[in-house]
């Protein structure tokens, strides 16, 4: 794996923007290109994984996004990163979809399970889609 930070950031941002306008296929392709260029141990990858979670949820998959959201929330909180408007919008859309599908208890359980994932496990989970 070759880390290419500049290209990874551009592709990650593209993932978020395409997801925001519901171009799920384009967003997924941008994410597939971005993730291998990123260091799985870097907390910044969590932004891209959260975009992938939104894409999954928009396509009707509701377990994997909850797991990824748990990982992302924990990772970003621990790293001290603050979400910008695009990431806040992604989170708001994602959590609304997940809450509409899962009970609060089930969502909390899935997110706790996701929070316990190792970085490479979260990346592998995101790349399964």
Low-confidence ranges of the chain (pLDDT < 70): 1-3
In tens, the pLDDT along 105-122 reads: 999 999 999 999 999 999
pLDDT of residue 82: 85
pTM beyond 0.85: yes
- CB under 8 Å to 56, separation ≥6 — which residues? 62, 64, 65, 68, 129
pLDDT for the residue 129: 75
pLDDT at 3: 64
Virtual torsion, Cα 38, 44, 46, 50, nearest 10 deg: -100
CB atoms within 10 A of CB 128: 10
Q: What is the DSSP letter of 42?
A: S
């Amino acid at each position: 794996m070759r880390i290419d930070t500049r290209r990874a950031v551009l592709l990650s941002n593209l993932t978020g923007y395409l997801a925001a306008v519901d171009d799920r296929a384009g967003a997924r392709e941008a994410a597939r290109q971005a993730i291998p260029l990123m260091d799985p141990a870097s907390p910044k990858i969590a932004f891209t994984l959260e975009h992938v979670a939104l894409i999954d949820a928009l396509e009707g998959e509701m377990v994997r996004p909850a797991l990824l959201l748990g990982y992302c929330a924990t990772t970003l909180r621990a790293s001290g990163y603050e979400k910008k408007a695009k990431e806040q919008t992604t989170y708001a859309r994602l959590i609304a979809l997940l809450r509409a599908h899962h009970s609060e208890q089930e969502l909390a359980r899935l997110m706790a399970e996701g929070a316990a994932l190792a970085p490479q496990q979260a990346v592998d989970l995101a790349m399964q889609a």
